[in-house]
Amino acid sequence: MASRQTYYVTTPIYYVNDRPHIGHAYTTLACDVLARFKRLDGFDVRFLTGTDEHGQKVEKSAEAAGKDPQAFTDEMSGNFRHLAEAMNFSYDDFIRTTEARHISSCQAIWQKLADNDEIYLGSYSGWYAVRDEAFYGEDELTKTADGLRLAPSGAPVEWVEEPSYFFRLSNWAERLLAFYEANPDFILPDSRRNEVVSFVKGGLKDLSVSRTSFRWGVPVPNDPDHIMYVWLDALTNYITALGYPDTDAALFQAFWPADLHMVGKDILRFHAVYWPAFLMAAGIAPPKRVFAHGWWTNEGQKISKSLGNIIDPFLLVDRYGLDQTRYFLLREVPFGNDGDFSHRAMLQRVNADLANDFGNLAQRTLSLIQQNCAGQVPTPGPFGSDDAALIARAVGLLDSLRGEVDRQQFHLALTRIWEVVSAANRYIDEQAPWMLKKTDRARMETVLYVLAEVIRRLAILVSPVMPGAAARLLDQLAIPPERRDFARLGADPTAELASGQALPKPEPLFPRLRETEGPGA
Ligand code: MSP
């Protein structure tokens, strides 16, 4: 038997200095949708997430909380697992960088880089931003009125002078550029790709990859005064989780190189420049793609702890519903762009797209079947041209969604689905099955069958984004759980729905939200 195609998707691992916020939820949600989509499409999927627990930033936060760093990270890492439960994320592995498997993996990649003469001992003097865990050149900084220096991210920097190992990043610029050239889809969206290419064309300096002024991290092999730079440590998680350094391990063989590292735009450079250089220097293939998504603002304002306008994903789920939140985040903003969260926009999406368009379509169809077909899947007669046209649109959806999802264009995938929802709503209005019941019952059954079949397809296709609502809808159509994957979306409209099958009483899918519901209510 031919082995199944594989798909490996990763989230960034999250710093445990902070509680989960909308940014974390957003990155992982995008990966979750991809993972679910690929599983339903027959792929053997590996979906990795986890927490980034080393480095000065976490050490300082533990200190501020008056806790031992390990106890602190144990506690904080748990919050990200809770987020995954609250958001219905279907990860296969959750990695923590303080785990033994990861520490030995980091030391192994370091050793490999050292053996390949890619690392040398020197000393670093320059600027460092703990908040970004990044080194900056003087030319990248801006000075505030009171003489404070800030990184481009707005993070304050401090002067660091200490012995340090360096990675020979300067040797990799040409090879990175050749790699980007040969793999035009390695960095998406294209605008981000151009930024990275011009950064690399500007020349790369060797990168400091160890620190000696604090202790919370992975000791450098044979020189434990040095702690590995937290980004080298963190990036390595993507291969640790496949069994590195055992590159013969079944997981490594099956899933490396990763199909996609999903990241926010702020951490693209680490993933698209440093990481492929580290990997190539260690003799390991680089990943196939890095996608950098945009940032959310809150009611038009930049989100920050000091402004106190952090959006708590647990609260969103409580107030608007889980599937509603998942839908909104991926539908509202073209994936890759920045976007604004607002209560109004959320209300509008839930009421217009979910309650009115999709919810009503399902509710109207299922109620008509309940009332006029004795609560059983109707029996269709021959399909006319209007029936065939609607069915053809629903059948054609899978291919167009594959195209959109393979380029991480989730908003377009949802738009395509809603085009068919609208077409189905037009069809029900034009065919008026409630009238046919008096004049032509056979035709009414055909129309209701076509609608039920189209809704079945829509439910399966929307299930990666709204797994809960889709499952409830498929329950209402009495589709068995093992018949809810994309293999059930072939061209034959009569292959899956069983005429005569009894259906449960229909339940509304998406309640309308009232103006007053949500934050501030
Ligand atoms: N630990 C590093 C990643 C290491 S990966 C090898 C890190 N962690 S983080 O917790 O700070 O980052 C989390 C993710 O959240 C990033 O992808 C970041 O872009 C994203 N976001 C943080 N704030 C955000 C918004 N306001 N909006 C959208 N995403 C944002 O970086």
Let me know if residue 171 belongs to a domain. no
Tokens 């990943």 belong to residue: 287
In this structure, is residue 482 part of a structural domain? yes
Q: Which of 15, 16, 25 shows the shortest CA–CA distance to 320? A: 25
* Mean pLDDT computed over 332-349: 96
User: Mean pLDDT over residues 228-240, rounded?
Assistant: 98
Contact 57, 1 (CB under 8 A): no
For position 147, what pLDDT does the model report? 87
Residue 208: per-residue pLDDT: 97
Task: Tell me how far CA of residue 218 lies from CA of 64, 211, 392, 435, in angstroms.
Answer: 21, 10, 57, 72
501 Cβ contact list (under 8 Å, min separation 6): 376, 377, 478
Per-residue pLDDT, 517: 58
Ligand 1 atom closest to residue 296's alpha carbon, by position in its atom list:
27
CATH of the domain at 447: 1.10.730.10
Q: 108 in a domain, yes or no?
A: no
Q: pLDDT tens digits for 239-274?
A: 999 999 999 999 999 999 999 999 999 999 999 999
Residue 303's pLDDT is what? Answer: 87
- Closest ligand 1 atom to Cα of 311: 26
CB burial string 275-297: b at 16+ within 10 A, e below: bbbbbbbbebebbebbbbbbbbb
Query: ∠19-23-29 over CA atoms, to 5°?
Result: 105
Q: Provide the pLDDT for residue 440.
A: 97
Check residue 18 and give its pLDDT: 86
Q: What is the mean pLDDT of the chain?
A: 96
Query: Domain residues for 468?
Result: 343-488
Report the pLDDT value the prediction gives residue 515, as an integer from 0 to 100. Answer: 77
For residue 264, how far is its CA from the centre of ligand 1 (angstroms)? 6
The structure tokens listed for 502 are 């009894």
In the numeric block, which tokens belong to residue 134? 């990044």
User: Per-residue pLDDT tens for 85-107?
Assistant: 999 999 999 999 999 999 999 99
Q: What is the DSSP letter of 86?
A: H
Ligand 1 centre to CA of 266 (Å) is 7
Residue with tokens 């995954």: 84
Ligand 1 centroid distance, CA of 408 (Å): 18
Report the alpha-carbon distance of residue 459 to residue 484 in Å, rounded. Answer: 9
Shortest-distance Cα residue to atom 21 of ligand 1? 23
Pocket test for ligand 1, best of 230, 266, 273, 290 (most atoms within 8 A of CB): 266
Query: Dihedral (C-alpha) 146, 152, 155, 159: value to the nearest 10 degrees?
Result: -70
Ligand 1 pocket test, candidate residues 295, 301, 311, 333, most atoms within 8 A of CB: 295
Shortest-distance Cα residue to atom 23 of ligand 1: 23
Alpha-carbon distance of 459 to 281, in angstroms, equals: 46
pLDDT tens per residue, range 157-200: 999 999 999 999 999 999 999 999 999 999 999 999 999 999 99
pLDDT average, residue stretch 226-243: 98
Instruction: Give the mean pLDDT of 197-214.
Output: 96
Concatenated DSSP letters for 267-299?
GHHIIIIIHHHHHHHTT-PPPS-EEEE--EEET
What dihedral do alpha carbons 85, 264, 141, 150 form, nearest 10°?
-20
Hey, what are 239's tokens?
Answer: 């291969």
373 lies in a domain? yes
Total structural domains in the chain? 1
426: Cα within 13 Å, side-chain hemisphere: 10
Per the domain annotation, does 309 fall within a domain?
no
Q: Cα–Cα distance between 367 and 9 in angstroms, integer?
A: 40
CB atoms under 10 Å from CB of 329, counted, come to 26
Note the pLDDT of residue 519.
44
- Number of neighbours of residue 347 by Cβ within 10 angstroms: 20
Query: Do 468 and 324 contact (CB within 8 A), yes or no?
Result: no
What value does the mean pLDDT take over residues 472-484? 98
**Cα(379) to centroid of ligand 1, in Å?**
52
Q: Flag whether 412 is in a domain.
A: yes
Looking at residues 477-500, what average pLDDT do you find? 97
pLDDT-derived band at 520 (thresholds 50, 70, 90) equals: very low
pTM (two decimals) = 0.96
Q: Which protein residue has the closest C-alpha to ligand 1 atom 8?
A: 14
Share of the chain above pLDDT 90, in %: 93
Residues with CB under 6 A from ligand 1: 12-15, 23-24, 26-27, 52, 234-235, 237, 263-264, 266-267, 295-296, 303
**What digits encode the pLDDT tens for the residues 47-57?**
999 999 999 99
- How high is the pLDDT of residue 521? 38
Read off the pLDDT of each residue in 207-223 and give the average, rounded to a whole number.
96
Query: Is the pLDDT at 2 greater than 90, yes or no?
Result: no
Residue 475 located in a structural domain: yes
The whole-number pLDDT of residue 122 equals 97
Using CA atoms, how far apart are residues 449 and 395, in angstroms rounded to an integer? 15
